[in-house]
């Protein structure tokens, strides 16, 4: 459930503060979501696909969409 604007510690109309860090209000992340990330566990089988801005992000999304089903095919 998204926190209401009233419950955010607004630094400006565009930023809110959580644990001495500023975050954009327009993003969907809220304090409860940020707290949950502290307990996020990365598994050895996790794969991260990271691109630089303006460097073929749509191409990398296409590659991921093409390859992802291959990991779920049962042999």
In a domain? residue 67: no
Q: How many Å apart are CA 54 and CA 60, to the nearest integer?
A: 11
**What pLDDT is attached to residue 1?**
40
Separation CA 1–CA 69 (nearest Å):
31
pLDDT digits (tens, 9 = 90+) for 12-71: 888 888 888 888 777 777 788 878 877 888 889 887 877 777 777 788 788 878 887 777
Phi-psi region of 11 (alpha: psi -120 to 50; beta: other; left: phi over 0): alpha
Determine, yes or no, domain membership for 72. Answer: no
SS3 68: helix
Residue 27 CA, distance from chain mean position? 9
In a domain, 71, yes or no: no
Confidence of residue 74 (pLDDT cuts 50, 70, 90): low
- Give me the number of domains the chain comprises: 1
Position 2 scores a pLDDT of 47
pLDDT at 11 over 50: yes
55 falls within a domain: no
74 part of a folded domain = no
Overall pTM > 0.75 = no
Asked if residue 30 belongs to a domain, the reply is yes
The answer to whether the CB of 25 falls within 8 A of the CB of 16 is yes
Domain coverage including residue 21: 5-37
Could you tell me if residue 51 is inside a domain? no
């Amino acid at each position: 459930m998204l926190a209401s604007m009233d419950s955010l510690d607004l630094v400006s109309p565009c930023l809110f503060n959580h644990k001495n860090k500023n975050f954009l209000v327009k993003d969907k992340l809220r304090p409860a979501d940020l707290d949950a990330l502290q307990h996020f566990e990365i598994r050895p089988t996790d794969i991260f696909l990271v691109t630089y801005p303006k460097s073929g992000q749509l191409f990398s999304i296409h590659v991921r969409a093409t390859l992802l089903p291959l990991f779920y095919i049962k042999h």
